[in-house]
Structures are given as C-alpha cells and as structure tokens.
Amino acid sequence: AQRLQEQVRTLDVVGRYGGEEFAVVLPDTESGEETATRLLAGVADTPIPTRSGPLSVTVSIGHARATPGLEGLSDLLARTDRALYAAKREGRNRAVSD
C-alpha cells in the first residue's frame, strides 16, 4: 500500500479493496495508463528486504475509466475487475485497460 501511495498524486485515493487487492481512484485523470505504468515500476523495481533476503514483488493492474452511460460505481468496479483478471491471465506484472 505504501509503494502505491508513493506513486500517486496527493488528491488520488489508495485503499484496500479485498484481501490482497487495492483500488486507486484517480479524479480528474484522462487516462490511467501513465499511472498504471508508474505503479508497476514502483512496486517491482525495489525488492522488499527480509531476513531471508530480498523478496521481489509484482502487481497486476486492471483499470477502467468512468464514461458516459456508466451504471454507477458497481459497473465501474466490475469493468476494472475484468481488466484485472485479464492482466493476471496474460502473465501478471502488467496493466490491462477495460
């Protein structure tokens, strides 16, 4: 969570969404592609130090943009979730847009 928070703007919101899932809300953003790329690098580029040695960590990111005709927050989250699972299927450590 800390690494995600370090990669976003102060007006963006990072929160736990599930057991090991986080949501990042990017108000006033045309595209999440640049932020997704920054998040991927921000997590993967620095291993986490442990007593057993460095632990490499990666993330899979699904992102979607609120568009006209959206049926509310649940619709946006469903689109984002579909993109997340596509990122996992395509090999992880990647971002996929819906």
Is pLDDT of 96 > 80? yes
Distance in Å from the first CA to the final CA of the chain: 23
Taking a C-beta distance cutoff of 8 angstroms, is the pair 25, 33 a contact? no
Instruction: Report d(CA 62, CA 26) in Å as an integer.
Output: 13
Instruction: Report d(CA 6, CA 30) in Å as an integer.
Output: 20
- Per-residue pLDDT tens digits for 2-55: 888 999 999 999 999 888 889 898 888 877 888 899 899 999 998 999 999 999
Model pLDDT, residue 34: 87
Is pLDDT of 83 > 90? yes
Model pLDDT, residue 65: 87
Model pLDDT, residue 11: 92
Instruction: Report d(CA 85, CA 50) in Å as an integer.
Output: 29
Is pLDDT of 89 > 90? yes
- Residue 16 tokens, joined: 């736990």
- Residue 77 tokens, joined: 């989250």
Which residues are tagged catalytic?
A: 20
- Residue 18 tokens, joined: 């599930």
